Amino acid sequence: MAFQPSQKQTLLESLMDARRSGQIAEVSLRLQQKVSDADKIRDANERLASEIDTLQGQLMQDWLANASTVIADLAKRTDALDEAVDRIKKKVKVAENVTKAVGFLDDAVVIAKKALAGGL
């Protein structure tokens, strides 16, 4: 089953939402003077941004996959990322939530790579 154009857009938008959440986490950490943690988030976000750029370039190509499952999976990770970002902003278990945020951003990279390979 190939992605429908609306599903491609939804996937791309979800990845972009994850990138935006990562950017918010980085800024929040920098404002808290947690440069090392902010750098970790930035690096993970750069990996995601690279995949988004590639995905945008290939958006019009056909992908074989079950888009609904992938979009739902990405939505769960984005929700969890948003929760971690909120906790970082509130200075709750910052180190733990930085680790979680990096993990969620890396999960989004994996999803993007699978989409690019047509393996979703």
Q: Residue 93 in contact with residue 34, Cβ under 8 Å?
A: no
* pLDDT single digits (tens) 40-57: 999 999 999 999 988 887
Residue with tokens 């950017």: 23
Question: H or E segment at 21?
Answer: helix 5-31
pLDDT(115) > 90: no
Q: Would you state the pLDDT for residue 118?
A: 61
Distance CA 84, CA 19 (A): 14
Distance CA 92, CA 94 (A): 5
